[in-house]
Structure 1
Amino acid sequence: MILEHAILPVRAGTEADFEAAFAEARPVVANQPGCRSVSLSRSIESPRGASRSLVSIPAGFSSSLT
């Protein structure tokens, strides 16, 4: 399994706009081949940061390891 994790800094005062834009983009990301889940959560260390995680298993990836 491949896990992709990204820290996305968000400017103060734009958190709601960012969350709305992510909600709009979420279906596009989730419909990519092999994508199993998409999540967005606030960072504990930096409340304005957003953490995005994508779990994906590309087709044929595991068979290419042998």
Structure 2
Amino acid sequence: MAPKKKDKDIRSNRTVLVSGKFEVLHPGHLRLFRFAHELGDRLIVGVLSDRLVAEQEPESHVVP
């Protein structure tokens, strides 16, 4: 019977992706990044473009 893999072995070579607008970076975003990174050994953060955010939320009050 094969030995059980350790948690680190299970998550090795796993890439985690999070995306969002992150217009104003705050502690909640940092918690999200830390949590997501715990799920794998590599974290990719995708940031929506200003154009896409403006199309989705034309009334946005944050100035890019």
TM-score normalised to structure 1 length: 0.34
The structure carrying a bigger strand percent of its residues is 1
The structure carrying a bigger helix percent of its residues is 2
**Larger Cα-atom Rg:** 2
User: Which is bigger in relative contact order (C-alpha 8 A, separation at least 6)?
Assistant: 1
